Every structure is written in C-alpha cells, then in structure tokens.
Copies of this chain bind each other. A is one copy, B any other.
Amino acid sequence: MIYITRKEHFNAAHKLHNPNWTDEKNLEVFGKCSNPNWHGHNYELFVTVKGEINPSTGYAANLKDISAIVRKHVIDKIDHKNLNLDVDFMKNIMASTENLAMEIWKQLEMPINTLGCQLHCIKVYETENNFVEYYG
C-alpha cells in the first residue's frame, strides 16, 4: 500500500457567522473572522489517496486523473468564490476549515474510488499557521 498526495489551490472569501446568535456573540466567538463584509484566504488543499502500485505504470493512480477529479468536483466549485454564498456543498454549514475539509471529503470519496484506489486524507490549509486533516 502506498500513499500519493496532490496539492491544489483555491482562493475564496468567507466569514464565520452563526445566524442564531447576536452580533456580539458572533464577535466574541469568531473575532475578526465574523466581519460582515467577508475576508478571504489562499487555501491549499492536499488530497491523499492510497492504493497498490500497477506494475505497468509504476503508479498507484495517475496524478492527471486525481487532479482532474479534484478540479471537477471541488476546485471549479470553490475557486474565486464565496464559501458561504456560492458553493452548493457548503450551503447551511458554518464555513470553517473543519467543515470545509469534511465536505470536500464527501465530494471526492466516490470519484476517487473509480480510479481503483481509496481516499485517505483531506488536508486544508487556511493560512500557513493553521490547517485541518480529515480521514473519513
């Protein structure tokens, strides 16, 4: 079993805001991340896949195929978008890095299986100082 990881980027706006709370409560919990006019990030997404090596190619999976799946199911939907307003799979969910990683997993688990390998980890960097990992 071997693990291969592909890194992709997306730039998006978001805010953290719980509509059931007052503005004061939101500010207290989320601080400047609750700015009503949004802020944004250069997100980095690491998709790790595990499988066995095909001796004809030396690949566990072709990175071109992994990249095409990630672009179709994730990047094209969230790059240069507003995570709270524009992204179908983030509707009605707090736009935290934790939720983003979990929802990206759901988008990719099935399509990655079609390559004959398995999704192992979704890692999302929000800034260079904080990131989230989800293993399903």
Contact = CB atoms under 8 A, between A and B. Distances in A.
B11 A127 contact: yes
Oligomer copy total: 6
Contacts of A8: 129
Contacts of A30: 57
Interface in A56-80: 56-60, 62-64, 79-80
A38 B82 contact: yes
A60 B53 CA distance: 32
A92 to B, nearest CB: 11
Contacts of A13: 13, 37-40
A128 B41 CA distance: 12
A12 to B, nearest CB: 6
Interface residues of A, number: 63
Interface in A77-94: 79-82, 85-86, 93-94
Interface string A24-57: 0000011111010111111000001000010111
B130 A6 contact: yes
Given A42-B42, A58-B96, A62-B29, A53 B9 contact: no
Interface of A: 1-9, 11-14, 16, 18, 20, 29-33, 35, 37-42, 48, 53, 55-60, 62-64, 79-82, 85-86, 93-99, 101-102, 127-135
